[in-house]
Amino acid sequence: MGLRSELSSIANPAKARILQRFFKTGKGEYAEGDVFLGVTVPETRRIAKKFSHLSLAELQKSLESKYHEERLAALLVLVEKFQKSQEFERKRIFDFYLKNARFVNNWDLVDLTAPKISGEFLIGKDKKLLYSLAKSENLWKRRIAIISTFSFIRKKDFEDCLKISGLLLSDRQDLIHKAVGWMLREVGKKDKKALQSFLEENYRLMPRTMLRYAIERFPEKERKAFLKGKV
């Protein structure tokens, strides 16, 4: 039984309808046209582990699937392959991932893979590719750019997160506002002064959602000061 068949065998149409509403698949919404089978993430992970042997060529077919869970499973296999590979093979997987970025086309697909593939691969390397992605017309490529910096933040390297956040301050997409705010909050967990410095310079330019996410862990008095513009 192939990957799609395994997923289809436990499809849940009622759950699929709920997921399609949750992930905004309607006309004009951010994930317009995405199709769900109704398989949970834990179930998808379990099935993905059974297909860790798939080649990149075989994964390509699943990444091009109209089914969200099949793309997710293929990406989870890709993450596992990356984690078990040496540098040369990691480069192949990194290139393959970015070549197929248009299929990493919902926020969960990005968030579960970008730090573990593009972010991890670029630690200690030139990050200019992320800046190109941050300027892309494609929503998901921009999200990959900022979410990839999670790997650097974990190592207390904030420079690229802060610079890319600056590039995305005027982004019109709420999903980018949330992603940037989340990454800024993660910077604050490691170094509050670094986050405060960025906020003091930029908070008046930040969309409200982005700012709220970034200051979520601040004491109430500090949060109110930023939200009222009295910093």
Chain segment 32-82, per-residue pLDDT in tens: 999 999 999 999 999 999 999 999 999 999 999 999 999 999 999 999 999
Residue 228 predicted with pLDDT over 90? no
> Which pLDDT value is given to residue 215?
97
> How many residues appear in the chain?
231
pTM for this predicted structure:
0.95
Give domain status of residue 47, yes or no.
yes
Please name the residue that has the structure tokens 């997921």. Answer: 19
C-alpha 79/C-alpha 69 separation (Å) is 15
Are residues 120 and 230 both part of a single domain?
yes
In this predicted model, what pLDDT tens digit does every residue of 104-125 receive, in sequence order?
A: 999 999 999 999 999 999 999 9
Are residues 23 and 126 both part of a single domain?
no
DSSP 33-96: T-B-----HHHHHHHHHHTTT--HHHHHHHHT-SBHHHHHHHHHHHHHHHHHS-HHHHHHHHHH
Give domain status of residue 175, yes or no.
yes
Give domain status of residue 105, yes or no.
no
Describe the crossing of helices 159-167 and 192-202 by its angle, rounded to 10 degrees: 20
In this predicted model, what pLDDT tens digit does every residue of 165-218 receive, in sequence order?
A: 999 999 999 999 999 999 999 999 999 999 999 999 999 999 999 999 999 999
Domain range for 122: 114-231
Residue 49 belongs to a domain with what CATH number? 1.25.10.90
What's phi and psi for 18, nearest 5 deg? -65, -45
C-alpha 75/C-alpha 109 separation (Å) is 8
> Which pLDDT value is given to residue 230?
76
> Which pLDDT value is given to residue 117?
98
What's the domain count of the chain? Answer: 2
Tokens of 115: 């730090």
Residue 127 predicted with pLDDT over 80? yes
Identify the band that residue 31 occupies on the pLDDT scale cut at 50, 70 and 90: confident
Are residues 222 and 155 both part of a single domain?
yes
> Which pLDDT value is given to residue 218?
95
Identify the band that residue 139 occupies on the pLDDT scale cut at 50, 70 and 90: very high
> Which pLDDT value is given to residue 95?
97
Give domain status of residue 33, yes or no.
yes
The DSSP secondary-structure symbol of 23 reads T
